[in-house]
Structure 1
Amino acid sequence: MDLTEQINQLEADLTELGSLLKKAERNRVKDVLTQEIKKVEKELSSKQQQKEQLSRKETNPSKVAYTVKITNYAWDQSDKFVKIYLTLKDVHKIPSENVEVTFTEGSFSVLVKELDGKNHQMTILNLLHPINEKDSYKKIKTDMLLIMCKKQSTHKWEYLTKVEKQSKDKDKPKMDDNADPSDGLMNMLKKIYDEGDDEMKRTINKAWSESQEKKIRGGAGDMMDF
């Protein structure tokens, strides 16, 4: 028997008990019927509350938001601030308290709650230079979240994080002060050749052959002049 049927049975019992109470003439019988009516009324009220709660859950099912990482962003800077731009559709439509940004001297983290049925999270560690966390703040714009990191000094940032700087420095060719400049150029061309596709290799081979031919023609001309 489902909840609705139980409620219908209790309502029918209550109606019949009420009818019997009206017909009862002896006080003891009236007392027994009155106590039973109270018991049925209490049970009926409990069942009706259960049905109401169940109805609310079916009408507004609870959604458990899951968390996704924010991986796409852009950044810029002025003399005083490093600015990080996060594109988040409809972020301006959710309550501002759902957008949490936490700053430290060397990092910041973002948590946007219940946007499009999801939580959005991002953490940037090891900023290239220290920031002033007390003067850093967020700005919520149309479909965008702007993170304002207050610089401790006005010098220009070449990268956003120390990790990016270390990665770029590794890719740079190491220069030897005593080395022939042409050796550095050759090493760079060799790296490009090794990492390039077939079309790139053909282009480098062609340029190299033409260069050698020019050198040979130039050398022959010098001999004739002599």
Structure 2
Amino acid sequence: MDLTEQISQLEADLAELGSLLEKAERKRVKDVLTQERNKVEKELSVKKQQKEQLAKRELDPSAATKAAYTVKITNYAWDQSDKFVKIYLTLKDVHKIPSENVQVTFTERSFSVLVKELDGKNHQMNILNLLQPINEKDSYKRYSKITIKNDMLLIMCKKLSTQKWECLTKVEKQSKEKDDGLMNMLKKIYDDGDDEMKRTINKAWSESQEKKIKGGDMMDF
């Protein structure tokens, strides 16, 4: 069913729901019908926007490509369960663009996301060197398997084992290990050092905290 047919069906549903609402007398029935009407109205609005975007591309297919430029996706968070590593991307109005505009590709150790023509831009994210290998075939890479709700895009990476991930990538783990190693080294120096050495380390710690609060990029000793 193409967009025109979908819009036609939704408009018919909306008209019928309106008719039922006029006839309904019980509050509970009215509430259910009102809730469903609001849901259909929202879906109809999205479909009409999609149809408008498609019409613009048909009139000038090159216009969207010329206007769009690519920006890096930096606003994301991640979580995990025993079976999946979940990456949450925040992209305003991502649920309003056509499904084919969202492309996700997986490999055993990486995934990439390309969201095309959203707010006049293409949005891209590449995560390389995942901490553990994933099952690329069972990861959610089809648009229909990507959960889109309001401004949130959810990518599901299928784990090969139930092992808990310490972080998302190998690079992050190496950075953490480096920081932990530095902390351990400083702790040993502090424990073994004389009073002068301890005063020096305490001063460095205090200064680093002050700069961190002011927005500096010093390492947290």
Q: Same fold (TM over 0.5)?
A: yes
Of residues 184, 192, 212 in structure 2, which corresponds to 1:183?
Answer: 192
Conserved 8 A contact 2:68-2:122:
yes
1:134-159 deviation line (CA, Å, top 9, x unaligned): 11113222111101000001011011
Q: Does 1:197 align with 2:207?
A: yes
State the Cα distance separating 1:72 from its structure 2 match.
Answer: 1.7
Change beyond 3 A, Cα 1:166–1:95: same
Of residues 116, 133, 136 in structure 2, which corresponds to 1:133?
Answer: 136
1:9-60 deviation line (CA, Å, top 9, x unaligned): xxxxxxxxxxxxxxxxxxxxxxxxxxxxxxxxxxxxxxxxxxxxxxx77xx9
Q: Does 1:78 align with 2:86?
A: no
Distance in structure 2 (CA, Å) of the matches to 1:157 and 1:117: 36
State the Cα distance separating 1:197 from its structure 2 match.
Answer: 2.2
Conserved 8 A contact 2:190-2:198:
no
Conserved 8 A contact 2:70-2:124:
yes
Q: What are the within-5 Å matches in structure 2 for residues 91-102 of structure 1? A: 91-102=94-105
SS of 1:134 mapped into structure 2? coil
Identity among equivalent pairs (%): 70
Distance in structure 1 (CA, Å) of the matches to 2:177 and 2:164: 17
Match of 1:146 in 2: 154
Match of 2:175 in 1: 167
Runs (4+) off by over 6 Å: 186-189
Change beyond 3 A, Cα 1:192–1:81: farther
Distance in structure 2 (CA, Å) of the matches to 1:188 and 1:158: 32
Q: Does 1:113 align with 2:112?
A: no
Distance in structure 2 (CA, Å) of the matches to 1:155 and 1:189: 42
State the Cα distance separating 1:188 from its structure 2 match.
Answer: 8.7
Change beyond 3 A, Cα 1:198–1:147: closer
SS of 1:168 mapped into structure 2? helix
When normalised by structure 1's length, the TM-score is 0.54
The one-letter code matched in structure 2 to 1:67 is T
Alpha carbon RMSD of aligned pairs, Å? 3.0
Distance in structure 1 (CA, Å) of the matches to 2:208 and 2:165: 37
SS of 2:167 mapped into structure 1? coil
The one-letter code matched in structure 2 to 1:106 is R
Unaligned runs of 5+ in 1: 1-55, 201-226
State the Cα distance separating 1:173 from its structure 2 match.
Answer: 3.4
When normalised by structure 2's length, the TM-score is 0.55
Larger radius of gyration: 1
Distance in structure 2 (CA, Å) of the matches to 1:199 and 1:160: 27
Match of 2:3 in 1: none
Conserved 8 A contact 2:190-2:201:
no
Match of 2:63 in 1: 62
Match of 1:158 in 2: 166
